[in-house]
Amino acid sequence: MQTGTVRIGTRGSALALAQAHETRARLMAAHGLPEDAFEIVVISTSGDRIQDRPLSEAGGKGLFTKEIEEALLGGRIDLAVHSSKDMPTALPEGLELSAFLEREDVRDAFIGRVAARLLDLPERAVVGSSSLRRQALIRRARPDIDVVTFRGNVQTRLRKLEEGQVAGTLLAHAGLRRLGLTDIITELLPVERFPPAPGQGAICIETRIGDTATRKLVAAIGHAPTAAALACERAFLAALDGSCRTPIAGLATIDGDRLSFSGTIITPDGREAHDIAAEGRTADAAALGGKAGADIRARAGTRFFDGWA
């Protein structure tokens, strides 16, 4: 058993803190430990500080994890709690994803100010999103409306929406559930039309390789089906060199020892997309995702990725 205070590293947004608190609560329950056995350490990341341009121009997904991972490698924290969809597919040497909490709802939620449903927005309405995947899917569904980059944490985006800067925005249903904000949702978008980002809805825990005490501590709250699904989705993403510059969706579902996967790649303008599906054994999750990524890349051809991948 871990001795001393367990230091949990996290970003400082309300959602990140909610996820860190959930992780702490699960660890307390699993091991019968008091709250003061844990310390939540808030770490400012580049992704939080850069608000004047899209992440794709500033360095991509790693901007939300870099400083936290440096603290983990430097021994200033014992484990890090992340949103899985923010995690690059390649981790720094010496670190590993050692547990995934049971996944929440993977759907995107639309919060409309002038219409409850995305399809009911008036022509030339403005919708804001910081996600290239969501931007591309919005453009595919409604090529007549304007899509703008919409940075900031959940509360910042909701304030901008209330101020009338946009007619609507999309956020992860899972995050809104964790924040107790489901009452603001005006439409839940079906995964058939709005497939989620790989990892969406899942909290992951990162630890140092070789830190067996911490790994054993967090293993007690890991959810094996979620871990298998994420292994598939992250392998799909890795095969496509996924980053904040690439609109990619992927979702694996687990039913006992069987896994079903569906993936989509789409151009930023929403005009061209390729879909792929795969099924197989849960034990082969990573291999299934990697093959699906390689197959869809070959099917789309290099021209599909020119200029944006």
Query: What's the rounded Cα separation, in Å, for the pair 205 and 33?
Result: 18
Q: Give the chain's radius of gyration (CA, Å).
A: 19
DSSP assignment of 115-149: -SSGGGSPTT-EEE-S-HHHHHHHHHH-TTSEEE-
Selection from 154, 214, 124, 125 nearest residue 17 by Cα: 154
Distances (CA, A) of 103 to 45, 123, 181, 276: 24, 36, 18, 22
CA 255/CA 200 separation, integer angstroms: 19
Catalytic residue among 86, 183, 257, 295: 86
* Nearest-angstrom CA–CA distance, 184 and 193: 21
Residue 111 φ/ψ, nearest 5 degrees: -115, 105
For residue 163, CA distances in Å to 110, 166, 219 come to 17, 8, 44
What is the spatial order of strands in the sheet that 248-255 belongs to?
248-255, 258-266, 273-281
Q: Is 120 a catalytic residue?
A: no
Residues recognised as catalytic: 86
